[in-house]
A and B are shown apart, each in its own frame.
Chain A
Amino acid sequence: MSWDDIQPLLVQACQDTLFMVGWSALIAVLGGLPLGVLLVLTDRGGLVQNATVNKGIGVIVNIGRSVPFIILMVALIPFTRFVVGTSIGAEAAIVPLAVGAIPFFARLVETSVREVDGGLVEAVQAMGGSTWTVVRKVLLPESLPSLVSGLTTTVVALIGYSAMAGAVGAGGLGSLAVTYGYMRFDTGVMLITLAVLVAVVSAVQLIGDLAVRALAGRSRSQTI
């Protein structure tokens, strides 16, 4: 295949990948952030200690994390059809991607939030702050650099997962590499696709790292 043939495919694949990853990452944040925070709050010695809720969320998160993505995707087909009306295409791929990424991100959120100094929580409680105030004014802002770092990891993982979404006809870079590069033995397409994937992942990582550095800078630097 000549470059002229590949180029439109590549552009389309890039768009599909970014579409799938973007939406599923957004949903993962919306779902994983509260779950991760709840895991910390309901844990023993937490602000709203509740063993039942904690165990419940823990079990769901563990199940979500242990099912291989390709199986999750197939198993979720009925649910996907219910949510987006179809089980084929990029939109349909968002559902399993998001469902897989929520528990993944939730665990990362849990780790980040747990690292916030308990003394800060106590200080805000002593000021008369409620649990919600503690979450909003202490836990989230103080763990923000770490949360952003976790989001970067999640997005990179999603880019990897999205390659498998080709199995439900979702398109994207991974699917391009498989259908053109692997099935048609076109090494050129394979290499170009891989190069683009590496570039995308590197770009995501770089942006994430820069954001983390900018956020953490203020709390580390010793000079004004």
Chain B
Amino acid sequence: MITTTGLRKVYHSRGRETAALDGVDLHVREGEVYGVLGRSGAGKSTLIRCVNMLERPTSGTVEVDGQDLTALAGRGRRSRAELRAARSRIGMVFQHFNLLSSRTVQGNVELPLEILGVTGQERARKARELLDLVGLTDKAKAYPAQLSGGQKQRVGIARALAGDPKVLLSDEATSALDPETTRSILQLLRDLGRHLGLTVLLITHEMDVVKAVCDSAALMKAGRIVESGTVTELLATPGSELAQELFPVGGEPSGEGRTVVDLTFHGEAATEPVISRLSRTYNVEVSILGAAIETFGGRQVGRMRIELPGRFEENVVPIGFLREQGPQVDVADVAADARKELVK
């Protein structure tokens, strides 16, 4: 639904060039919720703004719903009109809501419809329907200044949906909200996405957002996507940084000369008594350093960090046994992790 190819955006300032986007290839499938995660300055905001051409990419292409938007970047009257038409089919939700303070809630939701040239009565009907959808029917006549942050974002979402978009872009939509409100807004986004068959591209710096709503995710660093895939795939990828952050299992080894192993269980494997079998078969003492179970997209995933006595070389056979039993096995290089922590 959204495809970017070799997307680059270079800013010039005082003779220096900074590449905010350095060759980004992104592919968002129809109907999925796709999260781009990254720290501030990683380029994720530039990326989402390139998708609806609020920022013109320096090179590369952006395709939304089969239409190449970068081809419309020309200055001609016709391509500008086409770009505007394309934008009206892409909804956008902002971190700071960006509601007009001079208009009522209903007036704000009607704005995109005015731009589309919808007649007065139809506008009012549609706006009320959307406010109903986001649970703000009773606030239609209120001004944004009279609303709480969460309510403002609901108005923002209703407004973004007014043009019946197929694609919704969310630029840190929950970053200005408290955790409780964040949860309710995310739930609303996900429900609406499913209900209306929307494709949602959201950017965030909060892992919890990805955990709560995303089907797929990508990690951005210094203008590049360093990892991407569906959440299930990512969790199954050995050494995945996203998986580690999505679903961390902690626990320090109890001493030198021990082997730490991270186990990830998917679906069926989660119910197998793997640890006790390992312990009985090889007569080894297994200590559990940390464990957790979470649900991603309705599927249960368990993670566990265990410790075996002896170095890795001495544990090759038990680890091989673990691999046969089903779970995904990563031998954690605890020393390397510790070094990474120091660098951070």
Beyond A218-B145, A223-B146, list 11 extra A-B contacts (CB 8 Å).
Answer: A119-B94, A122-B94, A123-B98, A124-B111, A127-B163, A128-B88, A128-B163, A138-B100, A142-B101, A218-B101, A219-B143
Cross-chain contact B146 with A126 (CB below 8 angstroms): no
CB distance from A57 to the nearest CB of B (A): 22
User: In the complex, what residues of A have CB within 8 A of residue B142's CB?
Assistant: 224
In the complex, what residue of chain A is closest to B113 when comparing beta carbons? A127
Q: Is A186 an interface residue (CB 8 A)?
A: no
Binds B, one of A7-15, A37-45, A105-113, A129-137: A129-137
B100 A141 Cβ-Cβ under 8 A: yes
A221/B100 contact (C-beta < 8 A), A119-B94, A124-B111 known: no
CA distance A137 to B80 in the complex (A): 19
Interface string of B128-147 (1 = CB under 8 A from A): 00000000000000111110
Contact of A128 among B102, B112, B159 (CB under 8 A): B112
Sample of 10 A–B contacts (CB below 8 Å): A119-B94, A122-B94, A127-B88, A128-B112, A137-B111, A142-B100, A144-B102, A218-B101, A219-B143, A222-B146
B226 close to A (CB within 8 Å): no
Residue B334 is within 8 A (CB to CB) of chain A in the complex: no
Residues from 149 to 167 in B contacting A, C-beta threshold 8 Å: 159, 163
Roughly how many angstroms separate A125 CA and B169 CA in the complex, as a whole number?
14
B96 interface residue (CB < 8 Å to A) = yes
Per the 8 Å Cβ criterion, residues 81-98 of B in contact with A are 84-88, 90, 92, 94, 96, 98
Known contacts A137-B111, A219-B102: does B54 contact A122 (CB below 8 Å)?
A: yes
A127 adjacent to B112 (CB under 8 Å): yes
Query: For A221, what are the chain B residues with a Cβ–Cβ distance below 8 Å?
Result: 143, 145-146
Which A residues from 124 to 168 make CB contacts under 8 A with B?
Answer: 124-130, 133, 137-138, 141-142, 144
Are A126 and B84 in contact, with the CB atoms below 8 A? no
Nearest Cβ distance between residue B32 and chain A, in whole angstroms? Answer: 21
Cα distance, A125 to B163, chains bound together (Å): 13
Q: B88 to chain A: which residues have CB within 8 Å?
A: 127-128
Residues of B within 8 A of A223 (CB): 146
**Residues of A close to B102: CB separation below 8 A:** 141-142, 144, 215, 218-219
What sequence of 0s and 1s flags, for each residue 186-223 of chain A, a beta carbon within 8 Å of any chain B beta carbon? 00000000000000000000000000000100111111
User: Closest chain A residue to B104 by CB distance?
Assistant: A218
Minimum C-beta distance from A180 to chain B (A): 47
Q: How far is the CB of B163 from chain A (nearest CB, A)?
A: 7
Whole-angstrom CA separation of A220 from B143 in the bound complex:
9
Q: A219 contacts B112, CB within 8 Å?
A: no
Chain A residues with Cβ below 8 Å from B144 are 219
> A218 touching B90 by the CB < 8 A rule?
no
Picked from A126, A133, A138, the residue with its CB within 8 Å of the CB of B52 is A126
A128 to B165, CA, bound (A): 12
Complex Cα spacing A83 to B96, Å: 50
Query: B111 is contacted by which of A125, A127, A142, A218 (Cβ under 8 Å)?
Result: A127
In the assembled complex, the Cα of A130 lies from the Cα of B54 at a distance in Å of 13
Q: What are the 5 A-B residue pairs with the smallest beta carbon separation, nearest first?
A: A128-B88, A219-B101, A123-B98, A128-B87, A128-B84
CA distance A123 to B101 in the complex (A): 13
Could you tell me if B143 and A218 are in contact, using CB atoms closer than 8 angstroms? yes
Distance in Å from the Cβ of A53 to the closest Cβ of chain B? 16
Question: Chain A residues near B145 (CB, 8 Å)?
Answer: 218-222
Chain B residue contacts of A224, Cβ below 8 A: 142, 146
CB contacts (< 8 Å) of B116 on chain A: these are 128
User: Which listed residue, B54, B92, B98, touches A120 by the CB 8 Å rule?
Assistant: B98
Residues in chain A near residue B96, CB distance under 8 A: 119
Asked whether, in the complex, the Cβ of B100 is within 8 Å of the Cβ of A127, the reply is no
Determine if A129 and B84 form an interchain contact, defined as CB atoms under 8 angstroms apart: yes
| Chain A: minimal CB distance from B156 (Å) | 8
Please judge, given known A-B contacts A129-B115, A142-B101, whether A123 and B163 are in contact too, CB under 8 Å: no
Instruction: Chain B residues near A142: list those with CB within 8 A.
Output: 100-102
Decide yes or no: A137 and B101 within 8 Å by CB, A126-B92, A222-B145 being known contacts.
no
Whether A125 pairs with B98 at a CB distance below 8 angstroms is no
B233 on interface, CB distance cutoff 8 Å: no
B103 within 8 A of A: yes
Cross-chain contact A128 with B146 (CB below 8 angstroms): no
CB–CB A127/B87 < 8 A: yes
- Per the bound structure, the CA–CA distance linking A223 and B147 in Å amounts to 9
